[in-house]
Structure formats: C-alpha cells, structure tokens
C-alpha cells in the first residue's frame, strides 16, 4: 500500500486542500490512506469499511479530483440507499468542493416532489449527482438524466441498497453509464450479492478492507440477558446508568419504536421515534431535533436510520437482537465513529439467544451475558435534553425578519 498518512502527501488537485482545511482534515483515516492512492490513479475500488470510517471523504475527494468544471455535463454519480444518507453525502462533498468555483451538485431522491428536480436538471446539467436508485432510475427512463458522460460511479452502502431491493435499478443505471468509467463500491459487509454486482461492473478492482480496525476497537460492546416483559425497564435502567447525552435505540419492528418512546417518556426521558411509516417532513423534524440535542433518545428502525449522522453519538442500544450480523455491524457503527469512543449495548431474551449465537459465530466473538439493571422510577432521574428546537412556519412571504426572533 502506501506510507501516506497526511492528505498533503497525496497528489490531489490543489483546489481540494481548501475544503480539507475548512473541515479540519489533516491526517487520513485507515480507509482513506488505503483507498485514495489507487483511486487517484483511476483504479476501480471495493472498500469494505464500517460506518464512520471516513469513506465519504475518500470517494468525495476521488470524484472531485477528476471533475472538469469547464465541461458542463454530469461527470460523477453517487448512489445511496436513502434520502437522508444522500443528503448527508451531498453536504460533505459540497464542503470538500469549497475551493472549486462553479461546481454544481444536486441531489435526486425519492420522498420529495419530482418537479423541482426536473427544473434543476433542465436549467443546466450538474457536474455531480447524489441520489437514490429509484429516483435516478425514474429520471433516466424519462430521458431527462443523461449518464453517458459519467466518469466516476460510486455505490455507497451497497449492501443496504441490495437489502432494500434496489439491485435491478442499480444494474439498469450502471448499464446507462460508459464502460470506461471508474467504479467505487463501498460496503460495511461483502455478501455474495455484492460480489456478483462487482464482477459484472468493475475492472480489476483494488480491494480494501478496514473491518474491526480502529472504529470497532473504540466501541465497548456489552450484552444483557432480560425477560421479554422487562425489556422496557432494562432499557431505561441502562440509559440511567450510562447517562449518555445522545442514544439511538434500534428496534426490529416499527411498532416497537413507538412503544419504546411511550415507556421512556413516561419515565421522564426526552425520546422520539423514527421509522419508515412516518411522513418525510416528520422524519426530517425528528432528525433535526435529535441532531440539535433537543431530545436525548431516538428509537429507530434500521431503514429509517440510514444516513443518520450525529457528532459524538455516545451510545447505541439494540432493543432487539438484530436479524443478522450485517445489521449488527451497521447498528453499532453509529457510535465510535472516526476512532472516537462509544458503547453498544444489546438486550437479549431467551428466545433471541439463538439469533445472537449466529451473529457471534459470523463475526468471531463470544458474547458474555450480564443481568440488566431494571429502572426504578425516580423524579427527575432521566437526563434532560440540553437544547430546545423551535420550528417557525414562516418566512419572507410572511414578512418575517431576523430581528423579529429574540
């Protein structure tokens, strides 16, 4: 590989260092140090790396390095499993592109009106598109999105896109891009379905694996045995014990997220639910409140939490044992990001023990089950949210000015 540990050691386009400086990025993470040298040489890449490892900056720098702003056409396409993740990726790539004048990047995702996206494409072609497979496929079929000039194609969280049923749209999108392109595939896990996509779409890819590494080492994992009827009390007991300012509680079922919020709210916690059945506006409001630390606990389903990016998330709790090892890896990767410390706790009933055993075998560890502490209801026991978020449904048309808000 390479001995490069600083971004300044790389032959990056000089304009990219302004964005790196603005973000305070000096040293590379392991995945960046391994991936960027071959990427800058134009090689295809398969990177198996956990959430929070710095992969977005890796592919963001690689695609921006190749963009020629003078060519007014689409040159880079990034596919993500959800709108939330696409928005997060677009935000970071825009920051990295601070030093590139006139770069146009747009997001094309489902869950929002199609009209504004059509209008944005109609004005002039973007240089970079970050989107979800379903919406990109729809615009491709409407012949309003031209992928013939794509030089760099990125599949971010590819395993999750396949889990969500996007294999057919992805293959159609790949087929609409030039064969002589650079393809980057990032995934926390590497199942056979991903291998099949890679074989069909990549040319002699470099393979990078950062599994376990600094990210996993920074996460303390604990497992608690609990009876089914005591799960809610055990969860509250652990939240009181760890007293994290922010915690995400993962549930296997949508209805469980609502039940968790109800029980925690009764005990005085500031908790909100996030699941796929919510309206997009409600989901966005929940994410904003949680990111602003105006609620301390987020009870989430796996799909709804894709793209969740919270600085210094201290605690992740598996309210239910995940259905598979891949989901476990994705969940705990929400904490301990970029080598920071974090805790991942898993509640396990006797019925869930066989499922946990399979995860242990697949990931190569042994879970030691402890007795979970049960919460005792006490006044003001739950940690309060540090902030309050206000939503004001007004703007210029309502003649609202900054000075009106004090």
Give CATH superfamily name and number for 214-371: P-loop containing nucleotide triphosphate hydrolases (3.40.50.300)
pTM comes to: 0.73
Q: According to the model, what pLDDT value does residue 385 have?
A: 67
The C-alpha angle 32, 310, 84, rounded to 5 degrees, equals 85
Phi/psi for 405 (5° steps) reads -110, 115
The two tokens of residue 312 are 């210094």
Asked if 7-209 and 214-371 have one fold, the answer is yes
Q: List pLDDT tens digits, range 208-240.
A: 987 654 445 568 999 999 999 999 999 999 999
Domain regions of the chain by residue span = 7-209, 214-371
Q: According to the model, what pLDDT value does residue 167 have?
A: 92
First to last CA, the chain: 55
Q: According to the model, what pLDDT value does residue 259 have?
A: 95
Question: Is 234 within 8 Å of 373 (Cβ atoms)?
Answer: yes
**Check: CATH 3.40.50.2300 for 7-209?**
no
Q: List pLDDT tens digits, range 315-338.
A: 999 999 999 888 898 888 888 765
């Amino acid at each position: 590989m390479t001995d490069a540990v600083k971004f300044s050691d790389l032959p990056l386009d000089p304009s990219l260092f302004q964005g790196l400086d603005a973000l305070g990025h000096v040293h590379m993470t392991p995945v960046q140090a391994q991936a960027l040298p071959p990427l800058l040489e134009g090689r295809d890449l398969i990177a198996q790396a956990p959430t929070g490892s710095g992969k977005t900056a890796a592919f963001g720098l690689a695609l921006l390095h190749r963009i020629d702003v003078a060519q007014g056409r689409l040159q880079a396409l990034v596919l993500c499993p959800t709108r939330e993740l696409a928005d997060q990726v677009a935000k970071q790539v825009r920051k990295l592109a601070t030093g590139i004048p006139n770069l146009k990047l747009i997001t094309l995702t489902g869950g929002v009106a199609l009209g504004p996206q059509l209008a944005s494409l109609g004005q002039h072609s973007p240089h970079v598109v970050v989107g979800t497979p379903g919406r990109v496929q729809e615009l491709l079929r409407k012949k309003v999105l031209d992928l013939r000039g794509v030089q760099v194609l990125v599949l971010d969280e590819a395993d999750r896109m396949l889990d969500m049923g996007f294999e057919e749209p992805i293959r159609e999108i790949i087929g609409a891009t030039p064969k002589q392109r650079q393809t980057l595939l990032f995934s926390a896990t590497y199942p056979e379905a991903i291998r099949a996509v890679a074989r069909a779409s990549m040319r002699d890819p470099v393979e990078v694996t950062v599994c376990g590494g600094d990210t996993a080492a920074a996460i303390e994992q604990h497992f608690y045995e609990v009876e089914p009827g005591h799960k809610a009390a055990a969860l509250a007991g652990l939240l009181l014990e760890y007293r994290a300012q922010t915690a995400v509680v993962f549930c296997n079922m949508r209805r469980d997220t609502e039940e968790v919020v109800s029980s925690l709210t009764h005990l005085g916690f500031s908790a909100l639910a996030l699941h796929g059945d919510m309206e997009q506006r409600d989901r966005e409001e929940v994410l904003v409140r949680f990111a602003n630390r105006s609620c301390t606990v987020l009870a989430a389903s796996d799909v709804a939490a894709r793209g969740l990016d919270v600085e210094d998330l201290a605690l992740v709790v598996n309210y239910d044992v995940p259905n598979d090892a891949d989901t476990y890896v994705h969940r705990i990767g929400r904490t301990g990001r970029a080598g920071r410390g974090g805790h991942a706790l898993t509640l396990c009933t006797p019925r869930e023990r066989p499922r946990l055993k399979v995860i242990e075998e697949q990931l190569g560890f042994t879970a030691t089950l402890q007795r979970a502490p049960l919460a005792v209801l006490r006044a003001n026991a739950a940690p309060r949210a540090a902030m309050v978020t206000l939503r004001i449904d007004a703007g210029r048309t309502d003649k609202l000015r900054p000075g009106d808000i004090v």
